Amino acid sequence: MRIRRSNYPSEALVEFSGRVHQPPPHGLPPHRVGLTITLARVPQLRLALNQIDSRVGDLAGNAEAIVRWTRHSAEQGAHLVAFPEMALTGYPVEDLALRSSFVAASRAALRSLAARLADEGFGELPVLVGYLDRSATAQPKYGQPAGAPRNAAAVLYGGDVVLGFAKHHLPNYGVFDEFRYFVPGETLPVLRLHGVDIAFAICEDLWQDGGRVPAARSARAGLLLSVNASPYERNKDDTRLELVRKRAQEAGCTTAYLAMTGGQDDLVFDGDSIVVDRDGEVVARAPQFTEECVVLDLELPAAAADAPAAGEVVDDGLRIDRVVLSEAPLPAYPAERRGTRAKPLDDDEEVYSALVTGLRAYVGKNGFESVLIGLSGGIDSALVAAIACDAVGAEHVYGVSMPSKYSSDHSRDDAAELARRTGLNYRTVPIGPMFDAYMGALGLSGLAEENLQSRLRGTTLMAISNQEGHIVLAPGNKSELAVGYSTLYGDSVGAYGPIKDVYKTSVFRLAEWRNRSARERGQTPPIPDNSITKPPSAELRPGQVDTDSLPDYPVLDAILELYVDRDRGADEIVAGGFDAELVKKTLRMVDRAEYKRRQYPPGTKISPKGFGKDRRLPITSGWRE
């Protein structure tokens, strides 16, 4: 006896052949006979995971995108369509969640979306959508009143909302304040579709132990589908993959992790949606930083006859909320959709793509059309200019060289060369006459004289911005922001800081990667080599270089990474091999610069602890360790 596959993957055929023992008719010799038996089919399901970008508060625009991507999914023959966490409202909604009018509008938009999907012919196609809801009953153990907001998702079918649920685990770390806004869900939602039980989860439900993952196993689910809006962080793709593998094994079923892409304020979402089988093997993986519809055919176990009934309580006190749409499996069909298996980006390309995505989203979603950059000829402004050209197109990037009497010839030449290589719009506005007028009136010297030059450049950029409508990009990097090596109302002016969360050593590495990438594609490298190789300098006094005031950047960044990103104290850092006096000086600079950082514009977050929501320290503090 042997088992082979039929042409339809969901059918197993058993072939039997053997010698017949009773005498054959008509005195013929014994002969072999064959028998083929078709066993019960394994249920099939074509899943469409729509990795899309949403804009916070744009209910109409987001709904339109959901309809458009649902139409595309239906054209691919999908049986279940899914969208990311809070796709209808955008994420994070922050204090909009506390506005009852916005919650009501979200709920109304969900009902309208369900009706529209049915009107457009998709009523028999279940669609999972994340949105903002409110609780129906009080939650006394969390001290929340009835009607408190909920981070929720719903299955739309037949023009109605047939299954709704709220996020069970609420994150309260880093950029997340979900305990501030939401109350948790207390159910395990299960949808029976074409003979398969599908359990649902929302983002943190996978990132934390317990809850819906073990509950999915107890419910005998054949598929666990989690919708997410998990912000990008450097190296998170590796962590995410291992997490999904682990949770699939814990849940005992195929697990799909659908993620958002795009950008919102200082957050970037990289997509990278993943599907793994119950053993943790990757079935499909979407590309990063792009909208994508991943369509794949899955063979899943049939719903168990002894699965817990609706209303039963399983792991973590979760009550099963089961909705049955169809008990019978689909007729067997050829499994043609295998999904994509995108190759992950290398580390530098991934970070650079995040910076481009963040800037593009901030400019586009806020209705701006062009950006303005002060070009010094240095590495920071050069990298920002390259990112801007990749994000919005060189024709929408305006660069201004603002030389003073201390500006070197090579810096002016490097700024002009950058403009030539990239094709951005370029002009020169000398600040010498303005500087002389201020000096004649105020008689400044020393640091005040140096900072005046930076502030004149900031004023010039803001004046051009005001006149022509470009938004100004601040070129400061994380190393400078950390130690306060910037001038308030000078080089820190702007609407957005693209490299705000990038240490100086990474600035050099990203610039080199961008040039290398251009060469590999046969293009002109955008950043002049001299901008990369020359010693960094603010050029505010004769012969000035950054190391006059700061340690070498590799040493400085290593100390900052421990203090800022990992919250290590002075003693721990010194124990790591750093000079005690240097550590003390560096930490003192960081602590004293908090007031400057509070006034710096938002910028793309790429690290686990960026300046802003991640790292919230008092401006006034007597603690110096």
Q: Report the 3 state secondary structure along 271-297.
A: ECCEEECCCCCEEEECCECCCEEEEEE
| 85 tagged catalytic | yes
Which member of 178, 203, 250, 561 is catalytic? Answer: 203
Say whether pLDDT at 13 is over 90: no
> What pLDDT, on a 0 to 100 scale, did the predictor assign at position 144?
60
| 613 tagged catalytic | no
What type of residue is 167?
A: K
Tell me the average pLDDT of the chain: 89
Say whether pLDDT at 466 is over 80: yes
Q: Copy the structure tokens of residue 86.
A: 């809070």
In angstroms, how far apart are the furthest CA atoms of the chain?
126
- SS3 state of residue 371: strand
Which member of 11, 15, 64, 85 is catalytic? Answer: 85
Task: List Cα–Cα distances, 177 to 97, 151, 203, 376, 578, in angstroms.
Answer: 11, 12, 14, 39, 35
The verdict on pTM exceeding 0.85 is: yes
The pLDDT of 186-206, averaged and rounded, is 96
Say whether pLDDT at 21 is over 90: no
Say whether pLDDT at 599 is over 50: yes
Q: Copy the structure tokens of residue 283.
A: 């079935």
Q: Copy the structure tokens of residue 406.
A: 């201390």
How many C-beta neighbours within 10 Å does residue 243 have? 17
The pLDDT of 175-195, averaged and rounded, is 91
Task: List Cα–Cα distances, 560 to 7, 219, 538, in angstroms.
Answer: 60, 47, 21
> What pLDDT, on a 0 to 100 scale, did the predictor assign at position 449?
87
Rounded to an integer, what distance in angstroms lies between the CA atom of residue 574 and that of residue 559?
Answer: 9
The pLDDT of 291-298, averaged and rounded, is 96
Residues 524-546 pLDDT 10s: 999 999 999 987 766 556 676 76
Task: List Cα–Cα distances, 603 to 80, 256, 613, in angstroms.
Answer: 37, 31, 11
Contact 358, 498 (CB under 8 A): yes
Task: List Cα–Cα distances, 215 to 120, 154, 164, 440, in angstroms.
Answer: 36, 19, 17, 75
Say whether pLDDT at 260 is over 60: yes
Which member of 64, 141, 167, 349 is catalytic? Answer: 167
Say whether pLDDT at 125 is over 60: yes
Say whether pLDDT at 385 is over 70: yes
Residue with tokens 């073990």: 214
pLDDT over 70 percentage in the chain: 90
Question: What is the strand order of the sheet 12-19 is part of?
Answer: 2-5, 12-19, 32-38
